[in-house]
Amino acid sequence: MSRSRTIDTPDIEGSSASEPASRKHVLDLDDFSQEEISAVLDSARSMKEVLGRDIKKVPALRGKVVVTLFYEASTRTRISFEEAGKVLSADVINMSSSGSSAEKGESLLNTGLTIQAMGVDTIVIRHPHSGAPYLLAQQLDKVSIINAGDGLHAHPTQALLDLYTVRDKLGSLEGCKIVIVGDVLHSRVARSDIWGFAKMGAKVVLSGPNTLMPPDLIRSNNNIARSAFASLVEVDTNLDRAIEGADVVMALRLQQERQHAGFLPSLREYIRRWQVTDERMARANPGAMVMHPGPMNEGIEISNSIAHGGSSVIEEQVTNGVAIRMALLYKVTIGPAQQL
Amino acid sequence: MQERQIMNQEDVRRALTRVAHEILEHNRGAEDLVIVGIHTRGVHLARRIAASLVEFEGIEVPVATLDVSLYRDDLGTRSQTQTKLQPTDIPSGIQGKRVVLVDDVLYTGRTIRAAMDALVDFGRPQQIQLAILLDRGHRELPIRADYVGQNLPTAISERVKVRLVETDGTDEVALIFEEIYSEDSDSESEPESNE
């Protein structure tokens, strides 16, 4: 038998034994295991330490190129990804649909192929159509795709930063109760959060007007078997009841255009029944925290005093968002080991 | 794959004890010293060395931890890519301090290069020293250790496995190698002394 020479670096062996398999894309949390989510949250904690330094710069992604491709308006998500990439020393190029060749009618796929041909390593995409990031992930073989929000479908990086924020405060997500209030129907944040919190062993309760609950989640007693997704949550349209014993209350933005589309009898009624207020928070567990994915309509889904009160972790969510996006950019851009 | 023990529990303990004494001797005490362990096993070794310093001289030396992943030059090319980061925690700071870096195995030197790059982002230490449990040779960078638990000449095809109570339930260093002759398979079992 001949001696085979294997070249590797055994001085780092061992510690990666339980490491989850490497990942090329982040599209939604449905294909994340509990272990992988935990690993991302742990990495984000180390990234947060980097953000706390005097010199916020590490060379990890030096020479890598990240493009943020946004077909929808965004402040926090785009800036958050840009900061995350720059702190990791990647070159970050921002592209939005206005002012790009998308205005000349270029298809998403052709834009993606063009960006890939330029040697970009990772594309962060936000798109008004559900599934757009999946199209790029299927068709582009050389770049990693991170979903920064697609239509009504998913917003996995927001969900991970929510998980991080809650775990940071409570120590663990196992067994905690999270109430998501408001326009769940049009919320991609809620859908990814449901996957994430449920996978981590938290109990998720949705509350809001019936018209704004996803039909696949509320039809529980007809002939259609509940989907795996629907079995992850409970729905209680009575917020005063739903909020009892909650550890986390997450208010969702009531998107202005919904108020005129027949989903709500009146804005005043919505405020009266589903606004997150001090009185309602008093029914939650002591020390319960209030979250909001932003941007907020203060005075509608959340009262002013709650939005800026002691129970609010809304600003921490934003800070943690940068750390989470660093962890994800690092994870997918470094990528699986190349074949030597 | 065959495995041969290089250091047993007692060997590891003695080596660390000697390294701790050498650190005290070389620095004439422990003033301004910070011990920085490199994840994962270097952190545990750093804590043990710090505990020895308390035992020998009653001096509490700050222990810091360092994850060098973000500073590596071989990201994405290693056979095992590690994307889960460990906490970096340098509570005492290192500005003007004598830093003793601690790791389990010194091999190519690339981890130590990355560690030094990471350290200078936290300040300007007066000096950086290096303590290592096992030096297996094959340096690819001009780096040497100031304190060495044991030197072990190895072949590149071999692997070194350090096990510690904190991570693996036992203290030992083992050499893992592929069998060269298929005939006399169970030939090695006698304890070896390497030097």
* Most B CBs within 10 Å, among A6, A7, A12, to test the B interface: A12
Separation of alpha carbons B140 and A190, rounded Å: 50
CB A158 within 8 A of CB A170: no
List pLDDT tens digits, range A9-41. Answer: 333 333 333 444 578 999 999 999 999 999 999
pLDDT of residue A174: 95
What average pLDDT does this structure show over B75-96? 76
pLDDT at B6 over 90: yes
Q: Which residue has the higher pLDDT, B82 or A274?
A: A274
Q: Across the interface, do A22 and B83 touch by the CB < 8 Å criterion?
A: yes
CB-CB contact of A84 with A112 (8 Å): no
Pair of tokens at residue A84 = 């995350």
Both tokens of A261, joined, read: 């589309």
Interval B119-141: pLDDT, tens: 999 999 999 999 999 999 999 99
Q: Is the pLDDT of residue A58 over 90?
A: yes
Let me know: does B109 contact B137? Beta carbons within 8 Å.
no
For residue B86, the chain A residues in CB contact (below 8 A) are 42, 46
The pLDDT value recorded for residue A27 is: 97
Distance (Å) from the alpha carbon of B61 to chain A's nearest alpha carbon:
22
ipTM of this model? 0.77
pLDDT higher for B153 or A2? B153
pLDDT digits (tens, 9 = 90+) for A91-142: 999 988 777 777 788 899 999 999 999 999 999 999 999 999 999 999 999 9
3-state SS assignment for residue A272: helix
Domain definitions of chain B by residue range = 10-70+90-154
With 0-12 / 13-18 / 19 or more C-beta atoms within 10 angstroms meaning exposed / middle / buried, residue B184 is: exposed
In chain B, where do the E strands start and end?
Answer: 2-7, 33-38, 63-66, 98-106, 127-135, 147-151, 159-163, 172-177
DSSP H helical ranges for chain A:
34-51, 76-87, 108-117, 132-139, 156-170, 188-199, 215-218, 239-242, 267-274, 278-281, 304-307, 314-334
A330 touches chain B (CB under 8 A): yes
CATH class of this structure's domain A156-313: alpha beta
For chain A, the structural domain boundaries read 22-154+320-334, 156-313
Mean pLDDT of B61-85: 78
Range B10-70+90-154: architecture per CATH: 3-Layer(aba) Sandwich (3.40)
Share of chain B above pLDDT 90, in %: 78
Give the number of other CB atoms < 10 A from CB of residue A122: 26
* Residue range A157-187, pLDDT digits in tens: 999 999 999 999 999 999 999 999 999 999 9
pLDDT for the residue A265: 85
Query: CA torsion sign, B18 to B129 to A55 to A161?
Result: negative
For chain B, what is the mean pLDDT?
Answer: 88
CATH number of A22-154+320-334: 3.40.50.1370
Question: CB distance from B80 to chain A under 8 Å?
Answer: yes
- The pLDDT tens digits for A137-157 are 999 999 999 999 999 999 999
Tell me, yes or no, if A51 comes closer than 8 A to chain B by beta carbon. no
Greater model confidence, B52 or A98: B52
* Interatomic CA distance for residues A101 and A69, integer angstroms: 12
3-state secondary structure of A110: helix
Q: Has residue B167 got a pLDDT over 70?
A: yes
Determine whether the interchain pair B167/A330 forms a contact, defined as Cβ–Cβ distance below 8 Å.
Answer: no
Give the per-residue pLDDT at A263: 86
Residue B188 scores a pLDDT above 90: no
pLDDT at A216 over 80: no
